[in-house]
């Protein structure tokens, strides 16, 4: 409800759109982000002696499930931390299936910038909830978002007609619209990947990483590696400043690492609504239909030019093998640089924001 007021102020008229009226109860996810964000700060500075990532993750998951259950708007809940979905029936049942990762960035050691990811589907079946209600492609999401618990609590949210950013005002305990109609830059000079796993990547991925180091971005700048190790934090920086975030498949994770249903699909929905690209390397993530709730996929999120450049190495004919590619790209860089009004001084280099 706190988030809803800000959404309606964007002239999206959420309450007046027939397909969005029942989402009013679900937009309270902003409130869950406030609660979990408070827990992260109270319990979870990464290097504090009292930090217990497992306990924090359990509390975050329980908070989301409890709040969604008593919202009476949901029929099925899928959590990253539960093997099976939670079916909601009888008087508590609503008409939406919610998929979520209640707290990301809990690696060992845990990342300082943690977050949460969620997506909302409409129930497909009538009566008691069934697995078909959540086994849907990302293109059928009706809303998605993520929260970032960094220096401030940030909520990125979309109902399918644009990407909007909210920042929590602690004095009001409400989310304020701070970034309206966010557009992912067409190109960027930052790439985000765990290069510590290079030895596990296949030849195509290693060749692509080498090309990123040797080829300038479309704005003519030398590319720079930026990698926090938290999915939400790295994706947030990529959305705001351009470039590409990737988690390719490797020998340890041949199907990829990122969970399709409650991580890759919601983020792909947000990136697409900001004008960016979201691919597995060959396929659009939003087109993929999960075979189970915990399916994994490789992911490439970000600026259209950079994402297409990276995923080109997974196609039969790689762009770098085209003798005309360098010539065309050089001409494009010159033309883009002439038309660009962005200088080096205009780009903040502070890690995430």
Q: In terms of domains, do 122 and 251 share one?
A: no
Say if residue 119 is in the same domain as residue 149: yes
Same domain, residue pair 172 and 194: no
Cα separation, 335 vs 305, in Å, equals: 14
Domain assignment present for 229: yes
pLDDT, tens digit, for every residue of 291-300? Answer: 999 999 999 9
Query: Does 349 fall in a domain?
Result: no
Tokens of 266: 């919601």
State the residue range of the domain holding 63.
2-179
Q: What is the pLDDT of residue 218?
A: 82
Domain boundary among 129, 144, 179: 179
Pair 107, 161 in one domain? yes
Q: Where does the pLDDT of residue 342 fall: very low under 50, low under 70, confident under 90, or very high at 90 and above?
A: very low
The end-to-end CA distance of the chain, in Å, is 27
* pLDDT (tens digit per residue) in 125-182: 888 999 999 999 999 999 999 999 877 889 999 999 999 999 988 888 888 999 999 9
Same domain, 132 and 206: no
Residue 333 has pLDDT above 80, yes or no: no
pLDDT at 36: 59
Determine the Cα–Cα distance for residues 192 and 94; give it in Å rounded to an integer.
Answer: 39
Three-class secondary structure of residue 312 per DSSP:
helix
Q: What is the per-residue pLDDT for 343?
A: 47
Boundary of a domain, candidates 148, 179, 210? 179
For helices 231-241 and 265-273, the axis angle rounded to 10 degrees is 10
Please name the helix (run of DSSP H) or strand (run of DSSP E) that holds residue 75, with its range, or none. strand 74-79
Same-domain status, 200 and 67: no
| Domain-located, residue 237 | yes
Give the count of domains, the chain: 2
Position 232 scores a pLDDT of 94
Are residues 287 and 265 part of one domain? Answer: yes
For residue 48, is pLDDT > 50? no
User: How confident is the model over 203-250, as pLDDT tens digits?
Assistant: 999 999 999 998 888 877 889 999 988 899 999 999 999 999 999 999
Q: SS3 string of 245-286?
A: EEECCCCCCCCCCEEHHHHHHHHHHHHHHCCCEEECCCCEHH
- State the average pLDDT for the chain: 80
Residue 145 resides in a domain = yes
279 and 236 part of one domain: yes
pLDDT tens string 87-130 = 998 888 999 999 999 988 766 555 567 889 999 999 998 889 99
Q: Are residues 30 and 174 in the same domain?
A: yes
Count of alpha carbons within 13 angstroms of residue 318, beta-carbon side: 11
Q: Which residue, among 304, 273, 302, has the nearest Cα to 139 in the 3D structure?
A: 273
Backbone angles phi, psi at 153, to 5 degrees: -90, 115
Confidence band (pLDDT; 50, 70, 90) for 32? low
pLDDT for residue 15 is more than 70: no
What single-letter DSSP state applies at residue 140?
Answer: G
**Whole-number pLDDT of residue 3:** 39
Per the domain annotation, does 348 fall within a domain? no
Q: 299-331 pLDDT, tens per residue? A: 999 999 999 999 999 987 666 666 556 555 655
Q: Do 107 and 6 share a domain, yes or no?
A: yes
Distance separating alpha carbons of residues 209 and 191, to the nearest angstrom: 9
Confidence of residue 60 (pLDDT cuts 50, 70, 90): confident
**Which CA distances in Å does 137 have to 85, 273, 277, 287?**
17, 16, 16, 6
Q: Give percent helix, percent strand, percent coil of the chain, each to the nearest 5.
A: 40, 20, 40
Cα–Cα distance between 48 and 333 in angstroms, integer? 46
């Amino acid at each position: 409800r706190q988030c809803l007021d800000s959404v309606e102020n964007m002239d999206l008229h959420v309450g007046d759109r027939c397909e969005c009226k029942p989402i009013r109860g679900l937009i309270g996810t902003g409130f869950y982000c406030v609660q979990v964000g408070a827990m992260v700060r109270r319990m979870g500075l990464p290097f504090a002696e009292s930090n217990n990532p497992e306990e924090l993750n359990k509390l975050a998951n329980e908070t989301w499930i409890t709040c969604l259950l008593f919202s009476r708007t949901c029929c099925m809940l899928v959590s990253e931390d539960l093997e099976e979905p939670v079916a909601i029936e009888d008087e508590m049942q609503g008409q939406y299936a919610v998929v979520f990762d209640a707290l990301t960035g809990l690696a060992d050691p845990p990342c300082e910038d943690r977050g949460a990811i969620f997506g909302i589907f409409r129930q497909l079946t009538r009566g008691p909830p069934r697995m078909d209600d959540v086994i849907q492609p990302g293109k059928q999401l009706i809303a998605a978002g993520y929260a970032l618990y960094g220096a401030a609590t940030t909520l990125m949210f979309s109902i399918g007609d644009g990407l909007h950013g909210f920042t929590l005002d602690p004095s009001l305990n409400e989310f304020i619209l701070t970034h309206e109609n966010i557009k992912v830059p067409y190109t960027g000079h930052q790439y985000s990947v765990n290069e510590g796993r290079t030895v596990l990547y296949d030849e195509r991925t290693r060749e692509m990483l080498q090309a990123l180091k040797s080829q300038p971005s479309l704005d003519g700048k030398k590319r720079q590696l930026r990698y926090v190790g938290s999915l939400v934090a790295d994706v947030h920086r990529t959305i705001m400043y351009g470039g590409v975030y990737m988690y390719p498949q490797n020998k340890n994770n041949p199907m990829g690492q990122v969970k399709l249903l409650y991580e890759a699909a919601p983020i792909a929905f947000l990136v697409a609504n900001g004008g960016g690209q979201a691919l597995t390397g060959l396929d659009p993530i939003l087109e993929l239909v999960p075979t189970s709730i915990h399916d994994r996929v490789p992911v490439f999120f970000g600026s259209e030019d950079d994402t297409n450049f990276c995923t080109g190495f997974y196609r039969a004919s790689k762009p770098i093998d085209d003798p005309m590619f360098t010539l065309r790209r050089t001409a494009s860089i010159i033309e883009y640089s002439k038309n660009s009004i962005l200088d080096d001084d205009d780009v903040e280099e502070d890690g995430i924001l």
